[in-house]
Amino acid sequence: MLKITPKSFTMTRQLLKGVWIAVPAYIVLSLFMPVLIVLALVLGLLHLAEIPVALAVLRKKNIPTTEVIGKTFLYGFTYWLPRSLEA
């Protein structure tokens, strides 16, 4: 079950602000460079595949699930690997 906290709500709002800028810019660029569509799909699938691993690794760190999912999808292993090595 997802735990909604004020911090996760704020993070979600920040992510949505970025989406409103990034998605239209990406659509315009992909009209001129179709390879970006393929690249985005591959990277998106890779980041989706990392989410179960990140949840398993960070389960004992008391990090909200929404934060782990959102940041893993955006940043991939560069988010969850350093967090798992923290003391």
pTM above 0.75, yes or no: no
What is the domain extent for residue 78?
Answer: 6-85
Is residue 79 one of the residues assigned to a domain? Answer: yes
Q: Tokens standing for 16? A: 């949505």
**Overall number of domains in the chain:** 1
Is residue 1 one of the residues assigned to a domain? Answer: no
CA angle 64, 85, 43 (to 5 degrees): 70
pLDDT value for 29: 78
The pLDDT tens digits for 21-46 are 777 877 787 787 878 778 888 888 99
